[in-house]
Amino acid sequence: MSDTSQMDVPMALEAILMVVDEPVSALTLAQITQRPTEEIVSCLNELACGYLDQGRGFELREIAGGWRFYTSPGAAEFVERFVLDGQQARLTQAALETLAVVAYRQPVSRARVSAVRGVNVDAVMRTLVNRGLVEEAGIEHESGSILYRTTTYFLERLGLTSLEDLPALAPFLPDIEGLDDILDSLSS
């Protein structure tokens, strides 16, 4: 670990705030940086004013008892367009395969999906969750793994009223001896 007495406090605060999902209190930031809370508050205010003066595409705001970066109101239109265009982009083959495994095996853990697909699906699952096609469905008691299921948005996008409307898989599978045993082992 580096010497915290020589660190650049504004740089440390920026780095921490860049990775947070929710506002972080000045007290927490003071504890992490090992600096007095008053110094941290002063530094945060200076950073916030500096970003506003520079006309950046982001702002540093104190909200709900903590500090966090937010999109500048002037850039909101572009961020919205970017996010919406990303939502309308086609799914990759890997995402479609992962989504199919979740749809037919739900609720299912990422590890189980990875086992079926034969590759790590962490990034693909994040994409599917971010697009609202898959959601958390609880915890698997034996392993403690998070279980996933498809969403009503998934059904809506596919034009289905329920999961029972999904087509049967059997007609699309190759004729392999012992396939029924393999499929049974995957579902248990």
Q: Same domain for 155 and 96?
A: yes
The reported pLDDT for the residue numbered 170 is: 64
Domain enclosing residue 121, as ranges: 90-187
Query: Which of 3 and 21 is assigned the larger pLDDT?
Result: 21
The rounded percent of the chain whose pLDDT value lies above 70 is: 84
The reported pLDDT for the residue numbered 158 is: 80
Q: Binning pLDDT at 50, 70 and 90, where does residue 1 land?
A: very low
The reported pLDDT for the residue numbered 135 is: 95
Domain membership flag for residue 16: yes
The reported pLDDT for the residue numbered 173 is: 59
Q: What is the pTM of this model?
A: 0.48
Residue 18 sits in a domain whose CATH number is: 1.10.10.10
Query: How many structural domains are present in the chain?
Result: 2
Q: Which residues pair with 138 in a beta bridge?
A: 147
Q: Same domain for 25 and 64?
A: yes
